[in-house]
């Protein structure tokens, strides 16, 4: 196999078919960028889950005077009930990692701090907020264990899982990611079709050469390799552009726009970009090579 001959064939082919080559490069770049961004969104959701699930708590709100839940008909929670709840929580270790009792006063102070600049503060009285147990679970997905054990018990008004609120948000992000992924896959299909067409045109425009190659006994590999490499090179360039797009997304959209405005949450780091980039190259070059291979089997038979 003479590398120089193959390389010059590839170069000639790409130049002769310049518009098609550009079209392939651009579609590969766009579809893979979308693909990469959708993967980045998923990584972002995972990062946020890690970040927030560490901080979420299950809150057990205790009955206060005037609570109208059925479990609160006995009026305000009694000392005995409260002690029993605490003992039961203790028995749930090691699932329950931390137990923290928050009195009405503490709840009010915390509320004031949280909404320090909001007019809501003035409309809430000192006793309006219920006392509660705040507990942290070793595995936040095991919320149901706590909920089934405590909700509806006399003296407990409500068992509340912060995770469920977050999950709605994550589901929204997940939906966005799925849409991006579907668009990316559709684009990738379009890319494959375009590569197939490009190969057909290339095979047709070089049918003189290839027919002579067949006659003088060139091996299939020798005949097809330039075409395969052409597809791989143009797809490779497109994939590199997509990696560039991904890096831009990270530096500009995430680091410069999103991160300063949303400081309360974590954002994906460079390791996610580093993990996605090779995947983009692999998918780009692999797809094009497969598309080219099957096209050539049809159009460049022995």
Partner 1 sequence: MILFDNVTKVYPNQTRPALEDASLEIEKGEFVFLVGPSGSGKSTFLRLVLREERPTSGNVWVLGKDLMRLSNWKIPALRREIGTVFQDFRLLPNKTVFENVAFALEVIGKPKSHIRKVVPEVLEVVGLEGKEGRRPDELSGGEQQRVAIARAFVNRPKVLIADEPTGNLDPGTSVGIMKLLDRINRLGTTVIMSTHDAQIVDQMRRRVIELEHGHVVRDQSRGVYGYAR
The least distance separating partner 1 from the CB of residue 208, rounded to whole angstroms, comes to: 6
Least distance to partner 1, CB of residue 210, Å: 10
Nearer to partner 1, 109 or 218 (CB): 218
Could you write out the three-class secondary structure of the chain?
A: CCHHHHHHHHHHHHHHCHHHHHHHHHHHHHHHHHHHHHHHHHHHHHHHHHHHHCCCCEEEEECCCCCCCHHHCCCCCCHHHHHHHHHHHHHCCCCEEEEEEECHHHHHHHHHHHCCCCCHHHHCCCCCCCCEEEEEECCHHHHHHHHHHHCCCCCEEEEEEHHHHHHHHHHHHHHHHHHHHHHHHHHHHHHHHHHHHHHHHHHHHCHHHHHHHHHCCCCHHHHHHHHHHHHHHHHHHHHHHHHHHHHHHHHHHHHHHHHHHCCCCCCCCHHHHHHHHHHHHHHHHHHHHHHHHHHHHHHCCC
> Please, which residues have CB within 8 angstroms of residue 180's CB and are 6 or more apart in sequence?
34, 37, 38, 41
Binding residues for partner 1 (CB under 8 A): 1-2, 5, 208-209, 211-220, 222-223, 302
Closer residue to partner 1, CB minimum distance, 15 or 79 = 15
CB of 18: closest distance to partner 1 in angstroms? 17
Of residues 3 and 80, the one with the C-beta less far from partner 1: 3
Q: Which is nearer to partner 1, 168 or 208 (by Cβ)?
A: 208
Least distance to partner 1, CB of residue 182, Å: 40
Minimal distance, residue 25 CB to partner 1, in Å: 26
CB of 229 to partner 1, least distance (A): 15
CB of 302 to partner 1, least distance (A): 5
CA gap 269, 24 in Å, rounded = 31
Q: Cβ closer to partner 1: 53 or 222?
A: 222
Of the two residues 94 and 217, which places its CB atom closer to partner 1 in the complex? 217
**16/86 with CB nearer partner 1:** 16
């Amino acid at each position: 196999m003479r590398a120089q001959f193959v390389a010059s064939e590839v170069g000639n082919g790409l130049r002769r078919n310049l518009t098609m080559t550009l079209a392939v490069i651009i579609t590969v770049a766009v579809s893979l960028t979308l693909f990469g961004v959708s993967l980045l969104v998923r990584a972002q959701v995972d990062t946020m889950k890690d970040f927030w699930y560490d901080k979420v708590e299950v809150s057990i709100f205790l009955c206060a005077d005037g609570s109208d839940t059925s479990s609160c008909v006995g009026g305000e929670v009694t000392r005995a009930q409260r002690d029993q709840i605490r003992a039961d929580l203790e028995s749930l270790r090691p699932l329950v990692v931390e137990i923290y009792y928050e009195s009405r006063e503490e709840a009010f102070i915390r509320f004031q701090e949280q909404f320090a600049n909001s007019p809501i503060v003035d409309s809430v009285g000192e006793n309006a907020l219920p006392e509660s147990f705040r507990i942290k679970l070793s595995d936040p997905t095991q919320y149901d264990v706590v909920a089934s054990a405590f909700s509806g018990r006399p003296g407990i008004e409500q068992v509340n899982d912060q995770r469920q609120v977050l999950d709605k948000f994550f589901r929204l992000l997940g939906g966005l990611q799925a849409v991006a992924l579907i668009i990316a896959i559709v684009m990738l299909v379009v890319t494959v079709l375009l590569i197939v067409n490009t190969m057909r045109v290339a095979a047709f425009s070089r049918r003189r050469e290839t027919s002579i190659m067949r006659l003088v006994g060139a091996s299939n590999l020798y005949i097809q390799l330039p075409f395969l490499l052409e597809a791989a090179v143009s797809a490779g360039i497109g994939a590199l552009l997509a990696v560039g797009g991904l890096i831009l997304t990270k530096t500009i959209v995430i680091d410069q726009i999103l991160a300063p405005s949303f400081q309360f949450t974590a954002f994906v780091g460079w390791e996610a970009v580093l993990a996605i980039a090779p995947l983009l190259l692999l998918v780009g070059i692999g797809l094009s090579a497969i598309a080219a291979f099957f096209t050539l089997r049809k159009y460049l038979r022995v």
